[in-house]
Structure 1
Amino acid sequence: MSAILSAVQVVEESLRKIGAYSINDSAADGTELRVGLTWLDLIMAHLSGSTQIFWLIRNEVSLPLVTAQRSYQLPNALNASAPTNDLQFINGATLIDETGSRTPLTMLDYQTYNAVTNKDDVGDPTGVYVERLVNPVLYTYPVAQFDVSAGQTRRIELSVQTFANTVSGNRPAAGVQSEGSLQHGLRQSWQKWAIYELAASLGDGTVRNLPSGRLDRLRDVAIVAKKELLAFENRENFDAPNQTAYRDY
């Protein structure tokens, strides 16, 4: 299996690309290393916020519903399956009752949900609206109402995309792994892209001021690598029906 670099190793390789860390040096400069970690954190946050990233998707995240309750603070309202990296997007939702019956729910946008005359209508939910605050709030419509004493239950199974791992040089020290073993959370195939993308960010005045030609070469490698990864590695693999070419006889 291809090697998984630590976040520090990714930053070190990026510093090499801009001439800030020689292979003959015993260690990278501590300040430059922490600046590099902060920028790696920013880059990964931008990646996860600009496209669907399959390794950040968590399925079967369960939200137990409370009868007659319309809104739920996320991630606090989720059960033990809640992701530890908090929620960035919700990709889909399914209503499940006590019998295991599953009903897909419509993801409502703000205009559609805001146009509902009585948001307190009761019944089995057919849709959900997610208010994307720092801590998102999920609203169900209609509001679930069921007989708990009769053993009835309702829960929503969510498919979510989380935030990327935190590797920022400004992160809180408490509860964080030692810097040398900090994990970036990227799949191995994305590490080359991360090194070149980070090198371009560090070489544009953040750590070094590289000539425009060298910066452009770093950016070009990063752009090509990202396009190739999004086109292939970041796609689901599944069996599709054979395609038969149309022939006009």
Structure 2
Amino acid sequence: MDGRKIHLSNRMAAVAGLVPGGVTACDIGCDHGFVAIYLVQEHICPRVIATDINEGPLSRAREHIEGVGLSAYIETRLSDGLEKLAAGEVECMIAAGMGGRLIVKILEDYPEKRQSLRYLILQPQSELSCVRGYLRERGFVIRREDMVLEDGKFYPMMLAEAVNAGGEPSPDAEKNAYLESLEDEFGPCLIRERNPVLFAYLDWWEELQNRILKEVLTYPNRRDQVEEELRRIRDVRRRMDTDGGGAV
């Protein structure tokens, strides 16, 4: 094994930091292959399959993997999502830096393969509520979350674990629909753990909504939407100020 170490950006290091130790993993949309290399070099994963839908990034990933002498531990595959993976071949799927609805589509396109996964490491660039709601509906529980501020952008990410392989919802009788919607938007673990980057995000998001509110005062429907979002921000702050993330 070559001695050269891969150094990840703060965002990708945080993504890699959510991967449970000792699992086999696939990195969907691997780009340059750096996450796969890091996971093997740091002895987090014994084996990784790095996939991409385009040959260009996959070829670069292959060069980097060969350059550090890890071809025996990291396999590259040209694949559209989970297409070229067999059910049960890996325990953990990583999908970072793509839209939330695309992540949902990747998981929904191959139900048998999704149901064979124990862990999902997801870093959606958008549509967080869609992703978190989908995970709950398909029998996954969010175990850990993190949020990174890098180059002026906020990047939330999560580790979800399958608790109901049949894909049936895992209801929580103590949560009402509104509270659930807040957690889907802002992150249950981020709220509960009073994540400092989430506080910074709420400051930024609230300031943006207040600016928008001044511009839409004469448009009642849009004004109502912005005022509702400001109410949700205040409610999340109240939850974070309550020990254990108490009820709104």
Range into which the TM-score falls when normalised by the shorter chain: under 0.3
The structure with more helix, counted as a fraction of residues? 2
Structure ID, larger Rg: 1
TM superposition score normalised by structure 2? 0.28
